[in-house]
Amino acid sequence: MINNNQRLYNRDVAILKKYGNRYRLQLHRSLRNAGLEVEEKRRRKKGEYVNTEKLEESIIRTRSKIYELAMCNDWEFFVTLTLDKRKYDRMDLKRYRVDLAQFIRNYNRKHKINIKYLLIPEEHKDRAWHMHGLLMGLPRAHLKVNENGYLDWFAYRDKFGYISIDEIRNKEATSRYITKYITKNLESCVKEVGAHMYYCSRGLKRAEEIKKGALIKDAEWDYQNDWVKIKWIDEEINPDEYID
């Protein structure tokens, strides 16, 4: 049990992280104490704890994770992956996710390469699923120009369905764009099928935490709501100017 001397959440915690060449200063109104997460989960299962976290906060947190993974890794391609109804049940996201991950693992072993991915599912109006995301490690020699004049990964198409591939030219713009697929509608749809809002390879790079503590210098925030304030900084800074 968590006693009265233990705090499940800390208040007004500032964190400075580095995303490639950018810094993000983030002020959390309430931040879960990592050492107590296991106990919190046990209490939830026993019905002793009611999770009052709002949907908007969940969406913001997930978008932040997606942006972090997008900015901190050397992605090469933006892709849209679909399913051919003659080959797969387009409504079965769980099976698609499992089979796609296994397909990539097998392909890596066969060709002695290391394809990594960051993928976000999206549901069509007809309830069929497809995915948008980022790839790296897929050799250009494995891609061909299809009948429509676009790059195509025929190994994927032969097993699953159509794939659209675009080379990434602006990493930051792509990172911002991909977060737009994380929506309230997606949250609702994936909960219905017991799935996740995104899927990614193991071992991806994460943002480097520079400093964490109390905010000592306020900022002109780029974004803020009831739970968090965020400031992006595109130049080298002294962390001690912002956080104690």
Q: Would you say residue 36 has pLDDT above 80?
A: no
Residue 209 lies in a domain: yes
Same domain? For 91 and 146 the reply is yes
Q: Dump pLDDT digits (tens) for 162-189.
A: 999 999 999 989 999 999 988 878 877 7
For residues 105 and 88, what is the distance between their CA atoms, to the nearest angstrom? 19
What's the pTM value of the predicted model, to 2 decimals? 0.78
Q: How far is CA 30 from CA 7, 12, 59, 190, 228, in A?
A: 11, 6, 16, 26, 8
Question: Are residues 219 and 196 part of one domain?
Answer: no
Q: CA 206, CA 218: separation in Å to the nearest integer? A: 26
The CB-side HSE value for 21 (13 A sphere, CA atoms) comes to: 5
pLDDT score of 51: 46
Distance CA 104, CA 114 (A): 9
Amino acid identity, residue 134?
L
Domain of 137, in residue numbers: 77-200
Pairing of the two strands 199-200 and 163-167: unpaired
pLDDT of residue 33: 65
Residue 85 and residue 45 share a domain: no
Per-residue DSSP letter, 38? H
pLDDT in tens, 75-134: 999 999 999 999 989 999 999 999 999 999 999 999 999 999 999 999 888 889 999 999
Q: Report how far residue 162's alpha carbon sits from residue 148's, in angstroms, rounded to the nearest whole number.
A: 12
In a domain, 1, yes or no: no
pLDDT single digits (tens) 201-223: 999 999 999 999 999 888 889 88
Strand partners, 46: none
User: Looking at the 3D structure of the chain, how many domains does it have?
Assistant: 2
Is 24 inside a domain boundary? yes
